[in-house]
Amino acid sequence: ACPCALGLATPTAVTVGIGRGAELGVLIRNGEALEISEKLTAVVFDKTGTLTRGKPDVTDIVAFGVPEDRLLALAAAVERNSQHPLAAAVVRRAESTGITVPESERFTTFGGRGVSAVVEGEEVLIGNQPFLLEHRIAVPPEAASRITALQDEGKTAVLVAAGAEFAGILAIADTLKATTKDAIADLKRMGLAVTMITGDNERTANAIAREIGIEDVHAGVLPQEKAREVKALQERGAVVAF
């Protein structure tokens, strides 16, 4: 009922393929994943650490009403409790400038929006603009225009508030991987639809997407919503790799 050669050759080919992929740095979960990959119609990428190097750096420090080194010290005091790549960038910058970073307590994470902690008796909030507005922190018009300009350059603007007052902006940029642009072009040549899903804001996401040739961008997506975006593509008939 079953030709022996076929029964032996198929699993052997799959096993050898998975092994060869591993040698080339491509980890294939199982034989089924390899078989499904032939039917792919869409590839979805996260941004930070996937399309970019995942080693962001602080490029600009814009203080409002506090000295720059104080702004950086407050931000680093909170962010050293976080595992996020952007948080690591803030802490690295503070350490490289040699400023004294105070202790913090009552650290809290607000998924995809921001973080908070108490530093030297006052609450410090760090996150995006909606996060500050949620906490009734007004962003001055001159700060809003600076945020827009930084985002148009493909930078992520991290906002800082201390003691219920807006304190400043830390701009963070993550460089693209050297292979990203070519990889996206190759996938498109294979007839695959390419999408970028990121928690970053629309302006920054679009600036980076333009640079690498991705037209379909979903920005401001919280971590728990990313699976929902993939499901929506699948419901439209796409076979998706994330």
- Compute the half-sphere exposure of residue 216: CA atoms within 13 Å on the CB side of its CA: 14
**Smallest Cα–Cα separation from 224: which of 116, 134, 128, 111?**
111
Sheet holding 104-110, edge to edge: 57-63, 165-173, 156-162, 122-127, 114-119, 104-110
Residue of 46, 57, 60, 69 marked catalytic: 46
Backbone angles phi, psi at 102, to 5 degrees: -70, 170
Report the 10 Å Cβ neighbour count for 149: 14
Distances (CA, A) of 57 to 54, 142, 223: 10, 24, 22
Q: CA 55: distance to chain centroid?
A: 11
Q: How far apart are CA 86 and CA 76, in angstroms?
A: 11
The dihedral through the CA atoms of 40, 42, 48, 52 has a sign that is positive
Q: How far apart are CA 103 and CA 221, in angstroms?
A: 32
Over 23-75, what HEC string results? Answer: HCCCCCCCHHHHHHHCCCCEEEECHHHHHECCCCEEEEEEECCCCHHHHHHHH
Q: Is 46 a catalytic residue?
A: yes
- Residue 116 pairs with which residues in a beta bridge? 108, 125
Task: List residues with catalytic annotation.
Answer: 46
